[in-house]
Structure 1
Amino acid sequence: MTARRAGGFAYIAAIVFLVVLAGFALAALRLSGTAQATVDQALLGARAGQAARAGLEWAFFRLKTPDADCAVVTSGPDFVAETGYRVKLTCKKTPYGEGQTPTGDPLVKNIYQITATACNGATCPATDNATVAGPDYIERVRSASICITKAGDACY
């Protein structure tokens, strides 16, 4: 009787080991890609938030001129060159009287509700579903109020 060599088991073990190792490599690659996409989205979101904040700051500056109205805000500049994001500003003015000045004139104060929408689409906010569903579309909205007297001073 002749002895038969048992050498096939090592080949099967090596193939199983390589398949498992390839699976781990593929999982690590997918995880790395997902992590990178998450970081990219977070960075784009932070930039859009800062662009919206810049729009609010610009609006507050414009409203502090005497006899300012919402028209000076909504017809503002486009921030694409500076930030890479379009910023749309909306303004709502609510006037109210608060007594009189020391000279006897009525003291009128205005509350301005400003909303800044920043996005990296062609129009802001995006109106079509194809743009909104895009993987790189980012939109952030910030809103703030400010009280300014008719003379352009801050309310106290």
Structure 2
Amino acid sequence: MKIPPRKPDGFAIVSAIFILVVLAVLGAFILNISAQQQIGSALDVQGTRAYQAARAGIEWGLYQQLQGGVACPAGSFNPPAATLSEFTVSVTCVATADPGGHGGPTVRVLTATACNQPNAGDCPNTVDPGSHYVERRIQVTF
């Protein structure tokens, strides 16, 4: 008497577990990529805000020089706008007499640096910036 061949049992469960593991790894990979994209997008927005804060610093320095009578303004401040309040702006100014020595006008270089993690109240933070540190610098010569 011939014994009929037996069908292999359990093959479907092994395939199902393999597919579930592959799908779980793929889902974790997609979740990681999505989180990185969100962080990158948030840092782009922060970069734009830092740029606007640096522009506010330039405008503050020019106003101090043109209207306030300060020859070469400098200082640090937090912009009053609610969307820029987390930034600190440091403004520096360097005045140089006529480089040619011909009695020409004094040239001033006004620099505004805005950052979201200042070091001791000043930007830029070169000591210990965090992973989400954002800084923008604008320079104007007049």
The AA in structure 2 aligned to 1:45 is G
Q: What is the rounded CA distance, in whole Å, between the counterparts of 2:137 and 2:22 in structure 1?
A: 47
In the alignment, which residue of structure 2 is the partner of 1:50? 52
Distance 1:66 1:53, change over 3 A: closer
The structural deviation recorded for 1:50 is 1.0
Q: What is the rounded CA distance, in whole Å, between the counterparts of 1:13 and 1:23 in structure 2?
A: 16
In the alignment, which residue of structure 1 is the partner of 2:22? 20
Structure 2 residue 72 is matched with structure 1 residue 78: no
The aligned runs of 1:57-72 (5 Å cut-off) are 57-65=59-67, 67-70=69-72
Q: What is the rounded CA distance, in whole Å, between the counterparts of 1:113 and 1:4 in structure 2?
A: 89
Q: What is the rounded CA distance, in whole Å, between the counterparts of 1:38 and 1:126 in structure 2?
A: 21
The structural deviation recorded for 1:144 is 1.0
The structural deviation recorded for 1:25 is 0.4
If the length of structure 2 is used for normalisation, what is the TM-score?
0.80
The structural deviation recorded for 1:59 is 1.1
Q: What is the rounded CA distance, in whole Å, between the counterparts of 1:26 and 1:66 in structure 2?
A: 58
Q: What is the rounded CA distance, in whole Å, between the counterparts of 1:118 and 1:66 in structure 2?
A: 22
The AA in structure 1 aligned to 2:94 is K
Q: What is the rounded CA distance, in whole Å, between the counterparts of 1:2 and 1:145 in structure 2?
A: 94
Structure 1: which 5+ residue stretches go unaligned? 97-106, 147-156
Structure 2 residue 110 is matched with structure 1 residue 110: no
Q: Percent identity?
A: 33
Distance 1:38 1:66, change over 3 A: closer
The number of residue pairs the alignment matches comes to 131
Q: What is the rounded CA distance, in whole Å, between the counterparts of 2:69 and 2:63 in structure 1?
A: 13
Contact 2:95 2:106 in 1 (8 A): yes
Q: What is the rounded CA distance, in whole Å, between the counterparts of 1:53 and 1:63 in structure 2?
A: 15
Greater strand fraction, Structure 1 or Structure 2: 1
Other structure's SS at 1:88 match: strand
Aligned-pair RMSD on alpha carbons?
2.3
The AA in structure 1 aligned to 2:78 is F
The AA in structure 1 aligned to 2:131 is P
Q: Deviations over 1:13-32 (max 9, x none)?
A: 11111111111101100000
